[in-house]
């Protein structure tokens, strides 16, 4: 059986929201290249517990790149070095024996640290809630062809809807802007007739809630698109701005 690699880890440890945190050093031996990054952290926690320490707190759920919970900054990059990859989909075969890996939480005013690598992303929930509801008949499912939607618009709506709300865009942006997330959530309805009745109100309320949560402004660095595990395009930010402007003047 092939021997695993040795890794030197620097992991952010913070006891609570109001506590001062710091990077703590750990060493792992014989890490399998087939492990995911989160499985490697599981092994780290087993080692820490065996040594009588407190395990590292980190968010995870589906571990299939769907839920967006695995919010880690790895060597300065949200979700790590692999493009269109969530942390849970990043595997240790991308690292070499003796590598040093620094692991930190997403950092933004709108994402306060709860403990260690866990941040509070409920601000995203409040932004979505501010968008309100969608007026539609909630009866039986309509025929697939009852509401004609062009293939182009359907594809654009589905592309925007693929956002998993992980917050990597915020962590990567030098301004900690949530514009890509909000732009995607506004865009996914702007192409569909079901989103039309609340269209103007939705855009205004979501943008205003984003500002209230303390996220910064977008300055077109493009870092958000670069780290997005779903490859959400920054064209959604431009669309958000247009929708907001129309909503304000309507």
CATH of the domain at 186: 1.10.1060.10
In a domain, 11, yes or no: yes
Rounded to whole angstroms, the Cα distance separating 224 from 236 reads 11
Number of domains in the chain: 2
Check residue 2 and give its pLDDT: 63
Q: Is there a single domain that holds both residue 67 and residue 179?
A: no
In a domain, 143, yes or no: no
Q: Is there a single domain that holds both residue 188 and residue 110?
A: no
Tokens 């952290």, located at residue = 41
In a domain, 68, yes or no: yes
Q: Is there a single domain that holds both residue 26 and residue 96?
A: yes
In a domain, 65, yes or no: yes
Q: Is there a single domain that holds both residue 83 and residue 126?
A: no
In a domain, 60, yes or no: yes
CATH of the domain at 71: 3.10.20.30
pLDDT surpassing 90 at residue 165: yes
pLDDT surpassing 60 at residue 97: yes
Q: Is there a single domain that holds both residue 69 and residue 92?
A: yes
Q: Is there a single domain that holds both residue 86 and residue 126?
A: no
Q: Is there a single domain that holds both residue 100 and residue 216?
A: no
In a domain, 232, yes or no: yes
In the chain, where do the E strands start and end? 5-13, 22-31, 72-74, 77-78, 100-105, 113-115, 118-119
In a domain, 140, yes or no: no
Question: Which backbone phi and psi does 21 adopt, to 5 degrees?
Answer: -105, 170
Q: Is there a single domain that holds both residue 234 and residue 195?
A: yes
Question: Which backbone phi and psi does 144 adopt, to 5 degrees?
Answer: -60, -25
> Which structural domain, as residue segments, surrounds residue 208?
121-135+148-249
Q: Is there a single domain that holds both residue 86 and residue 9?
A: yes
In a domain, 74, yes or no: yes
Q: Is there a single domain that holds both residue 59 and residue 127?
A: no
Indicate the DSSP class of residue 169: H
Give 166-213 pLDDT, tens digit per residue.
999 999 999 999 999 999 999 999 999 888 889 999 999 999 999 999
Q: Is there a single domain that holds both residue 198 and residue 235?
A: yes
Treating both helix axes as pointing N-terminal to C-terminal, what angle do 235-249 and 179-190 enclose, rounded to 10 degrees?
70
Mean per-residue pLDDT, 108-123: 97
Give 15-69 pLDDT, tens digit per residue.
999 999 999 999 999 999 999 999 999 999 999 999 999 999 999 999 999 999 9
């Amino acid at each position: 059986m092939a021997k695993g690699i040795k890794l030197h880890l620097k992991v952010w440890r913070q006891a609570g929201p109001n506590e001062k945190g710091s990077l703590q050093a750990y060493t792992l031996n014989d890490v399998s290249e087939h492990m995911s990054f989160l499985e490697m952290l599981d092994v780290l926690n087993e080692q820490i517990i065996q040594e009588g320490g407190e395990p590292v707190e980190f968010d995870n759920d589906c571990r299939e790149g769907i839920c967006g919970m695995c919010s880690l900054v790895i060597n300065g990059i949200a979700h790590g070095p692999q493009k269109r990859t969530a942390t849970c989909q990043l595997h240790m075969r991308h690292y070499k024996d003796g590598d040093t890996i620094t692991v930190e939480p997403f950092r933004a005013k709108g994402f306060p640290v709860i403990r260690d690598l866990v941040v509070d992303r409920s601000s995203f929930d409040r932004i979505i809630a501010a968008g309100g509801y969608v007026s539609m008949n909630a009866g039986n499912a309509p025929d697939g062809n009852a509401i004609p939607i062009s293939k182009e618009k359907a594809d654009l709506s589905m592309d925007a809807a693929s956002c998993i709300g992980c917050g990597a865009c915020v962590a990567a942006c030098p301004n900690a802007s949530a514009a890509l997330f909000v732009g995607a959530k506004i865009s996914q309805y702007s192409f569909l007739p079901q989103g039309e009745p609340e269209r103007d109100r939705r855009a205004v309320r979501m943008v205003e809630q984003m500002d209230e949560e303390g996220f910064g402004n977008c300055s077109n660095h493009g870092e958000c698109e670069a780290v997005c595990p779903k490859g959400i395009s920054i064209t959604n930010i431009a669309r958000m701005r247009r929708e907001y402007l129309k909503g304000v003047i309507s």
